[in-house]
Structure 1
Amino acid sequence: MNDYASRPAAPRRTRRTLLPGLAVLGLAGALFAVRRPLAMSAPRCLAGRWHGCYDTFNGVVLMTLVALPLALLVVWALAHRRRRAGVTPAWRLSLAEVGLVHGTVPFLWLTMMPGAAPGTAPARVSLVPLRDLVTMGPLGIAGNLLVLAALGFFAPMRFTALASVPRVLALGAGCSVLVETAQYVLRLDRVSSVDDVLVNTAGAVLAALASRRWWRTTGNPASDLPRPVPAPAG
């Protein structure tokens, strides 16, 4: 009986071990592929220079990776505090909060970087769907898919109200429209394109589908708050 009862748990343990391992291998492969561009930005970033680090793609990616251990430390601290307060699930909520910020802010920073002539070049808008998609290329499409991917992945894990595909779609579309509008209003010498909105939103929805098994689908307000201490008798 014990042998049969343990069989269903074995595949689950294997999947839990395999998925993080594949994620680590994928991250290591990506870092190996971009090791030279990141190394070129390292001296300026480590010296704290704005130009050549925070205003370049390579520099922002490098600093995002450098800050990853700190982000994991924040996850641990938040989870430890929640566990002491009796909040469940402590690790999932903490990871979702930190991942939401750490995975979204750098990409939003990249989208708001000015072009060659900010403030002087006329604001440009492209409202014809799929016209700019052809000129993006594979890297451009992949980058646009990642802009709101962390938002789509972690937001349903943290907020019950966002645990549905239509709501994630609306959130992604709204955030992308705000970004494109800001590019236009600030005259950053970038094209505010409807295709960017479509691809950004698709990235958020695909990432949300990837995290669907961990969505916070049941509201439990009491679990998000510290347990009340009973008043002393008398």
Structure 2
Amino acid sequence: MEQLWYSFSDVIPIFTVMIPFVLGISWLHFKRQRKKGLSHREAFFFSSTGALFILSIIGILLVTLLPIYGMRSQTLQLKPFSSILHLLEYSITASVTIRLIGFNMILFMPFGLFFSLRFHRKMSVWTITFLGMLFSTGIETAQYVLAIGRTSNIDDVILNTTGTFIGALIGLLISKLFFKKTRKKSIRNK
């Protein structure tokens, strides 16, 4: 836990300040959806998933693009699976490898999840996964161009894309359950 706090101590205050702004926008969106005739439940669903989607983007950008103090390097790793294999081979403990690989996937799972929940009617899991890959590629490119002390790594793109895919699948399942219940409820009320 202490290691997590050390890793994200710069991110947490900025992220915390952003939450009220996103919630305010979400509240306005909720009111607008209600005026359009959506039920309370549907308007809340769309507004809250939109807010969580925006917060996931903010969180990803903060974690990946805040400079590492004292470092202004540009490192590029374009050989797929090279850093993952290096971690597996030379890591002191398996938990370090699992954390680093898992973190890259988990970082993008909320992005895929809330993207899928918010836009499930308009985009497929594959489209959302592709957009997650583009977002991750954009971040890795920015890390290299801005020289913020981070390694631009193709393995990060692969793991982030995998996380987006898993999140989008979970979002698809949740939205099917949610809208199945909503449809049944509206049929009973008629």
> TM-score with structure 2 length normalisation?
0.71
1:210 alignment counterpart: 170
Residues 110-149 of structure 1 mapped to structure 2, 5 A cutoff: 110-119=63-72, 121=73, 123-134=74-85, 135=87, 137-149=97-109
CA distance in 2 between partners of 1:208 and 1:92 (Å): 16
Residues 72-83 of structure 1 mapped to structure 2, 5 A cutoff: 72=23, 74-83=25-34
The answer on whether the counterparts of 1:108 and 1:147 sit within 8 Å (CA) in structure 2 is no
1:161 alignment counterpart: 122
Residues 1-234 of structure 1 mapped to structure 2, 5 A cutoff: 33=1, 38=5, 57-61=8-12, 63-64=14-15, 68=19, 71-72=22-23, 74-87=25-38, 89-119=42-72, 121=73, 123-134=74-85, 135=87, 137-159=97-119, 160-162=121-123, 164-215=124-175
In 2 relative to 1, CA 196–105 (structure 1 residues): closer, same or farther, beyond 3 Å? same
The answer on whether the counterparts of 1:125 and 1:191 sit within 8 Å (CA) in structure 2 is yes
Secondary structure at 1:211 match in 2: helix
Return structure 1 stretches of 4+ with deviation > 6 angstroms.
none
Q: Work out which structure has the larger RCO, using CA pairs closer than 8 Å and 6 or more positions apart in sequence.
A: 2
Deviation at 1:181, TM superposition (A): 0.7
Of residues 198-207 and 139-148 in structure 1, the stretch that sits farther from structure 2 once superposed is 139-148
Structure 2 spans left out of the alignment, 5+ residues: 88-95, 177-190
Whichever structure has more helix as a proportion of its residues is 2
The answer on whether the counterparts of 2:34 and 2:43 sit within 8 Å (CA) in structure 1 is yes
CA distance in 1 between partners of 2:142 and 2:18 (Å): 27
Secondary structure at 1:87 match in 2: coil
Q: Tell me which amino acid in the other structure corresponds to 1:177.
A: T
Q: Tell me which amino acid in the other structure corresponds to 2:61.
A: L
CA distance in 2 between partners of 1:155 and 1:85 (Å): 22
In 2 relative to 1, CA 69–138 (structure 1 residues): closer, same or farther, beyond 3 Å? farther
CA distance in 1 between partners of 2:145 and 2:4 (Å): 31
Deviation at 1:109, TM superposition (A): 1.4
> TM-score with structure 1 length normalisation?
0.59
1:45-64 deviation per Cα after TM superposition (whole angstroms, max 9, x unaligned) = xxxxxxxxxxx612313553
The answer on whether the counterparts of 1:107 and 1:147 sit within 8 Å (CA) in structure 2 is yes
CA distance in 2 between partners of 1:138 and 1:65 (Å): 28
Aligned residue pairs, count? 164
The answer on whether the counterparts of 1:117 and 1:188 sit within 8 Å (CA) in structure 2 is no
Q: Tell me which amino acid in the other structure corresponds to 2:46.
A: L
CA distance in 1 between partners of 2:98 and 2:69 (Å): 23
Deviation at 1:165, TM superposition (A): 2.1
| Aligned residues: CA RMSD | 2.9
Structure 1 spans left out of the alignment, 5+ residues: 1-32, 42-55, 217-234
CA distance in 2 between partners of 1:97 and 1:161 (Å): 14
Instruction: State, as a whole percentage, how many aligned pairs show the same letter.
Output: 27
